[in-house]
Amino acid sequence: MEGYMDMRELVATVIIGSGALRFGQFRLKLHESNPEAPLSPVYLNLRTSFHPDPNKRGPLTEAHCSIIGRALADMTVRLPNFQGFVAGLPYAADPFVGAVSNMPEWCGQIRFVSLAKYIDPESGNRCIVPERKNSYPVGRNVVLWDDLITMADSKIEAANSLMLMGCDVTDIIVLVDCQQGGSEKLVNMGFRVHSILPFLNYLLPFARQTGYVEKDDWDRCCEYFGSQGHPLSDNPTAFV
């Protein structure tokens, strides 16, 4: 457990040091359906600096993704029912899958299967579907990876796609749990959800404790999340 906590602290330091955690006033995905909702005082940008689309690039470098990928892999192989297969959600988990695929220490321990993202040409709606050219391990358990979880819709699509191809899905691992109800939704559906960095219980308090968050920004976060029934503490807690 000590090694795992050291890894959690390292990943939190990487996320914060990369500039992925920003403070100000931000419109989030929830504002698409609820435009009158209060603006968020914090925003987490987990996009990479090497994204093929320059307009979608973010702060995470290949080195950052290697550290994050190693943490995801380490958590994965500790699962009691891990059977060697992982599927990353496209496209958010692709940088971490790519990083681990190039690490010799995980060669043979983790085998990746692919999922695809389909875009409806008429509506523009996106959904996750099986990759036609991919072969799936029928009857075997596949662990899902993603960068974060908010409302869980994409995780449900991915799990359904894998189960449609004959796989079992029992565990979902994310880098950041935004703690907005998505994990609870998945747990109620029978999945086990694991996060490296719970956003409210660990990442934000860790950022405050290490001096990254100014008092005014912290106070705004406390007011914003407190009004939603999620009071913040400036003491990071162990939460798996």
- Would residue 121 count as lying in a domain? yes
pLDDT of residue 124: 76
Instruction: Kindly compute the dihedral angle of the four CA atoms of residues 136, 142, 148, 153, in this order, to the nearest 10 degrees.
Output: 70
* Residues spanned by the domain of 182: 2-226
Go through 187-217 and write b for each residue having 16 or more CB atoms within 10 A of its CB, e for each that does not: eeeebebbbbbbbbbbbbbbbbeeebbeeeb
Query: Residues 146-195: pLDDT tens digits?
Result: 999 998 999 999 999 999 999 999 999 999 999 989 999 999 999 999 99
- Would residue 231 count as lying in a domain? no
Average pLDDT, the chain: 92
- Would residue 238 count as lying in a domain? no
- Would residue 239 count as lying in a domain? no
- Would residue 86 count as lying in a domain? yes
CATH number at residue 205: 3.40.50.2020
The DSSP letter of residue 39 is P
- Would residue 28 count as lying in a domain? yes
The structural domain count of the chain equals 1
Rounded Cα gap, residues 173 and 196, in angstroms: 8
Going by pLDDT thresholds of 50, 70 and 90, the confidence category of residue 145 is very high
Residue 134, φ and ψ in degrees, nearest 5 = -90, 150
Whole-model pTM: value is 0.93
Residue 173, φ and ψ in degrees, nearest 5 = -115, 130
pLDDT of residue 36: 86
Query: Residues 22-51: pLDDT tens digits?
Result: 999 998 877 777 888 899 999 999 999 999
- Candidate from 7-16, 69-78, 113-122, 218-227 with smallest mean pLDDT: 113-122
List C-alpha distances in Å: 114 to 16, 47, 98, 102, 145.
30, 20, 12, 16, 11
- Would residue 142 count as lying in a domain? yes
